[in-house]
């Protein structure tokens, strides 16, 4: 089994983005990412610190706005409107999840699509649906999957791809982006009958559920490519994905580790989107 080293590939991406930021700086454009964080959810704080670190590496400016957990939908929308109007801001990211009194669709809808570096707005998702040509700001985790497959020269076209998980952030957009690249895509989820009968057919198996040990070796085809997008904390505080890494590793040709797989790739793609947005806002 070969490891798909997200840490290494993300470093390469960040290094090349650093050069792009330097080139933009020469043209007096200073790419800037703004992040809205509500509360102090441990996972959100950890994800955000990784994003901030990547900004430091690439030279992208970072500004964070913290809110208490009793914040309202209206307060967040007002802040987003300010950031939409601010010409020094190129990316707006609202860290999810939000507390239950906040209506997430209205918050996302308030983000100017040109600054929607998470690729969560209906506008960007709708464009992404059309073809690769219109994947302008695509969701970062699915984009990370495409980038890591590209890096290791793993072909997508014509492959049997099975995506497990149908969230709006990962499973659904990932299925569409792989379909855009001419894979035969099956999307499985919590209501799928006999999950193993699907996963066993996969040349490329992508799992984004959030359930440790969901995918055992018996559920994986010999020589498959396995992309583990789950991030779970065990009772001992260890980070693990959704696959039985040891056992699946003996059967698969390629596997992404957790940590060090899709997490860093997601962050690198967020940086890629921020620079893309900065260029588009200034040159088009
Ligand atoms: N929460 C978990 N993943 C994500 C992500 O990709 N973007 C945002 N904004 N929040 C998240």
Task: Check if 140 has its Cβ closer than 6 Å to any atom of ligand 1.
Answer: yes
Ligand 1 centre to CA of 217 (Å) is 29
Query: Hey, which residues are catalytic here?
Result: 51, 95, 118
DSSP string, 76-106: HHHHHHHHHH-TT--EEEEPSP--TTS-HHH
275 Cβ contact partners less than 8 Å away, ≥ 6 residues apart:
17, 20, 21, 24, 31, 58, 60
> What percentage of the chain reaches a pLDDT higher than 70?
100
At residue 11, the pLDDT reads: 98
CATH match of 29-112 with 3.20.20.70: no
Nearest CA to ligand 1 atom 1: 96
Q: What is the pLDDT of residue 67?
A: 98
Mean pLDDT of the chain: 98
Rounded to an integer, what distance in angstroms lies between the CA atom of residue 201 and that of residue 107? 39
- Pocket flag, ligand 1, residue 270 (CB < 6 Å): no
Would you say residue 235 has pLDDT above 90?
Answer: yes
- Homologous superfamily, domain 139-263: NAD(P)-binding Rossmann-like Domain (3.40.50.720)
Mean pLDDT of 51-62: 98
Confidence check: pLDDT of 184 > 90: yes
Taking the C-alpha atoms of residue 226 and residue 247, their distance in angstroms, rounded to an integer, is: 12
Provide the pLDDT for residue 284. 79
User: Could you tell me if 154 and 146 are in contact, meaning their C-beta atoms sit under 8 angstroms apart?
Assistant: no
The pLDDT tens digits for 93-123 are: 999 999 999 999 999 999 999 999 999 999 9
The helix/strand/coil state of 3 is: strand
Using one digit for the tens of pLDDT, what is the confidence trace for 2-52? 999 999 999 999 999 999 999 999 999 999 999 999 999 999 999 999 999
Mean pLDDT of 237-251: 97
Say what the pLDDT of residue 51 is: 98
Axis-axis angle for helices 262-283, 42-58 (nearest 10): 60
Q: Which of 105, 118, 269 to mutate to test the pocket of ligand 1 (most atoms within 8 A of CB)?
A: 118
* 121 Cβ below 6 A of ligand 1: no
Question: Percent of the chain, pLDDT > 90?
Answer: 100
Return the domain boundaries, the chain.
29-112, 139-263
Q: Is the CB of 96 under 6 A from ligand 1?
A: yes
Same fold yes or no, 29-112 and 139-263: yes
């Amino acid at each position: 089994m070969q490891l798909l080293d997200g840490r290494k590939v993300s470093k390469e991406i960040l290094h090349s983005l650093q050069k792009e930021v330097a080139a933009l700086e020469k043209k007096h454009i200073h790419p800037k990412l703004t992040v809205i964080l509500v509360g102090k959810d441990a996972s959100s704080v950890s994800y955000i610190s990784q994003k901030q670190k990547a900004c430091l590496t690439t030279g992208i400016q970072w500004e964070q706005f913290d809110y208490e957990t009793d914040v309202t939908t209206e307060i967040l929308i007002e802040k987003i409107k300010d950031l939409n109007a601010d010409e020094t801001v190129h990316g707006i990211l609202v860290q999810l999840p939000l507390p239950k009194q906040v209506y997430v669709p209205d918050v996302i809808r308030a983000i100017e699509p040109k600054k929607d570096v998470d690729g969560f707005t209906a506008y960007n998702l709708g464009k992404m649906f059309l073809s690769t040509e219109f994947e302008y700001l695509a969701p970062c985790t699915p984009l990370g999957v495409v980038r890591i497959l590209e890096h290791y020269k793993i072909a997508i076209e014509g492959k049997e791809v099975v995506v497990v998980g149908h969230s709006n952030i990962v499973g659904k957009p990932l299925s569409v982006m792989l379909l855009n690249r001419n894979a035969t895509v099956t999307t499985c989820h919590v209501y799928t009958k006999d999950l193993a009968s699907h996963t066993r057919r996969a040349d490329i198996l992508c799992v984004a559920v959030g359930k440790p040990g969901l995918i055992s070796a018996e559920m994986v085809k010999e020589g498959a490519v396995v992309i583990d997008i789950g991030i779970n904390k065990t009772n001992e505080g260890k980070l693990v994905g959704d696959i039985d890494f040891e056992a699946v590793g003996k059967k698969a040709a390629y596997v992404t580790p957790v940590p060090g797989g899709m997490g860093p790739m997601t962050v690198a793609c967020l940086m890629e989107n921020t620079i893309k947005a900065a260029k588009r806002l200034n040159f088009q």
